[in-house]
Amino acid sequence: MEWIWQWLFPSRQLSQDPRSELMRRHHVLPQPYGRQIKKTAQSASIPKRVTSHVLRHSYATHMLEAGVDIRTVQELLGHKSVETTMIYTHVMAKPGVGAPSPLDVLHGS
């Protein structure tokens, strides 16, 4: 019943749990998921290689560029160490965006 045990991509069929021997719905294996990402990218005419890792990396980078603090991104990605999350800062288009000036809110005044 806990959220951590819920599958984002559940399998269509039930299978037998090898430990308990109960019939359960497990998660989709990575291969069909990866094939679907590739197919979707091709149908969207995206010329670059798209994988789940690329999507994860893009998500983290965009979050940091949008000013989300690195500790929040660390938590969302499930990294144990902030140093691992800091890898994403090297490709940011606008490093330092996470610390806006208080004067930025005055632009409309």
18 plus 31 within the same structural domain: yes
**Which DSSP category does 95 fall into?**
T
- Domain shared by 36 and 17, yes or no: yes
Q: Report whether 85 contacts 70 (CB < 8 A).
A: yes
31 in a structural domain: yes
**59 domain-assigned:** yes
Mark whether 72 and 55 lie in a shared domain: yes
pLDDT reading at 85 higher than 70: yes
Q: How high is the pLDDT of residue 72?
A: 94
Inside any domain, residue 75 = yes
71 close to 82: Cβ distance less than 8 angstroms? yes
Query: Are 61 and 87 within one domain?
Result: yes
* Number of residues that make up the chain: 109
Place of tokens 């990218």: 41
- Residue numbers of the domain that contains 81: 51-93
Q: List all residues 6 or more positions away from 38 whose beta carbon is below 8 Å from its beta carbon.
A: 50, 51
Q: How confident is the model at residue 104 (pLDDT cuts 50, 70, 90)?
A: low
Give the total number of structural domains in the chain. Answer: 2
Same domain, 85 and 66: yes
At 14-49, the pLDDT tens digits run 888 888 898 888 777 778 888 999 999 999 999 999
How many Cα atoms sit within 13 Å of 48 on the Cβ side? 5
For residues 39 and 65, membership in a common domain is answered with no
